[in-house]
Homo-oligomer: A and B are copies of this chain.
Amino acid sequence: MCGVFGVWGHPEAANIAYLGLHALQHRGQESAGIAAADGGRITSHRAMGLVQAAFSEKDLAGLPGTAAIGHVRYSTAGGSHLRNAQPFAVDTAAGSIAIGHNGNLTNHEKLRAELEQQGSIYQTGSDTETILHLFARSRGESVEARIIEALTRVEGAYSLVLLTPRELFAVRDPRGFRPLCIGKMRGQGEDRWLVASEPTSFDLLGATFVRDVEPGELVRIDDTGLHSSMLPMRSPRKTCLFEYVYFARPDSVLDEASVYEVRKALGRTLAQEHPLPASFLAQGSAAGVVIPVPDSGVPAAIGFAEASGLPFEMGLIRSHYVGRTFIEPQESIRHFGVRLKLHPNRAVLEGKHVIVVDDSIVRGTTSRKIVKMIREAGAKSVHVRISSPPVEWPCYYGINTPTRGELIAASHSEEEISRYLEADGLGYLSRQGLVDGVAHATRGKLAKAPDTRFCDACFSGDYPVPFEGESSLPDSSRRNLRVVAG
């Protein structure tokens, strides 16, 4: 997954982008980059690691101008290389341009082969480079026309920010898979615009939320203000449900639904769909406790506790100090994994029937360790509740799910998964429950069951856009070339 950010009309644009990326850090921790434009030229800086580590004061000072775009990238399982860090910045016959992309193109493989046949050279393994090659080959008379021509060729998921020396663009694909929104900062006289994957930086920057970028909308910002147009392609809206379940920050509002409220609603529905076992209830509510897997499971657990009448407690304590690499003793029988991050709170767990609420199960290995940890801390029984349906299919639209073979729910029943987790019970949310939860959090703006409005491919296998070629998978490394650094 990735996050994109843009700012226009601010005298310290690169610094604003830096802060904006910080507030999108949860969307990608592998690399960070900023490109800035000063009306004449584009400068950029990209580096591996978190935003704070990737930029020094000197780095930011080397990015002059009043407009900037930024990008954070998620750490995928396989190799991660600086050459794939964004924004990409290139020179073309239409001038210099930089791009940041959240999403994944499904026909990238085919386009790449075609473009290479025509003499394009690829320097990255990224689908995003294809957009730049299409742009460079376009005969459009304006930069905007070239962007539109390029986008008519690509399929899949893209929330984009693009920067030229004199314009900032923000585009969301016609289905609107990934979020993108617009904010406005208080300036002196002139307008200062922000675009961002999520509105998480707006409070920090003293900006106000203006509106979401619509699916299929192209926003152009220049010295004459903000201009909107729609891409010529049309498709039904298919916004991603997993953003609400797990990916977005809880204080975000995406397409008018509060992520926190969605998650609480999912927790409430989950409690209704999976009533507590009779044996459990017989002992009175004091015998049980609802605990989240922090931090992502917290809102759903609060909703679950509310609906079930059981107390909400922090039965797992999350460490703030877990970085990437951890050295383990050689003789250690088990690998520490989640134990370095989550610590059982015996005072809450001992002697209790424990309902542990998490947002999803992917491979199942972490959940299994959590169940074990809770049981070892003295729980009488451990019941797992998941505030989303089983994840059975990989995502081709930008979320780094593993291959189907690694998804435990792709090949195991709930019964089998519960046994694998060594839990006393397991309950998943229904697909309808999930859709209703999102609708609920729009506070009446959505009808009750608009389930065609969302992409639920990871749960249902109903892919709104077919993917072409194995290499459209986000993890796959294409062809032969791999640049280790640089």
Contact = CB atoms under 8 A, between A and B. Distances in A.
A52 interface: yes
A141 to B, nearest CB: 14
Interface string A309-335: 001111001111111011111110000
A36 to B, nearest CB: 10
Chain A interface size, as a band, is 35 or more
A294 to B, nearest CB: 9
Given A42-B481, A203-B373, A483-B43, A52 B323 contact: yes
A327 B260 contact: no
A51 interface: yes
Contact of A484 (B45, B92, B118, B340): B45
Given A203-B373, A321-B22, A329-B12, A479 B343 contact: no
Contacts of A325: 52
15 contacts: A22-B321, A25-B319, A33-B486, A46-B483, A50-B323, A56-B327, A63-B484, A83-B486, A91-B116, A91-B481, A93-B118, A119-B136, A119-B138, A204-B339, A251-B347
Contact of A314 (B52, B60, B260, B311): B260
A420 interface: no
Contacts of A336: 19, 204
A362 B483 CA distance: 38
A62 interface: yes
Given A63-B484, A93-B116, A312-B312, 16 more contacts: A22-B340, A42-B480, A44-B482, A45-B486, A60-B327, A90-B122, A93-B118, A119-B120, A120-B136, A203-B343, A204-B336, A204-B339, A204-B340, A251-B317, A253-B347, A298-B314
A333 to B, nearest CB: 8
Contacts of A486: 33, 44-47, 82-83, 85, 486
A191 interface: no
A81 B214 CA distance: 39
Interface string A458-484: 000000000000000000001111111
Interface in A388-422: none
A11 interface: yes
A482 B42 contact: yes
A323 B482 contact: no
B52 A321 contact: yes
Nearest to A482: B43
Given A321-B26, A347-B261, A15 B90 contact: no
A96 interface: yes
Interface string A68-98: 0000000000000011010011111101100
A137 interface: yes
Contacts of A11: 331
Contact of A481 (B89, B200, B329, B376): B89
Given A52-B325, A59-B484, A339 B203 contact: yes
Contacts of A343: 23, 200, 203-204, 249, 251
Contacts of A55: 327
A448 to B, nearest CB: 20
A77 B336 CA distance: 34
Contact of A96 (B26, B92, B480): B480
Interface in A271-314: 295, 298-299, 302, 306, 311-314
A84 to B, nearest CB: 10
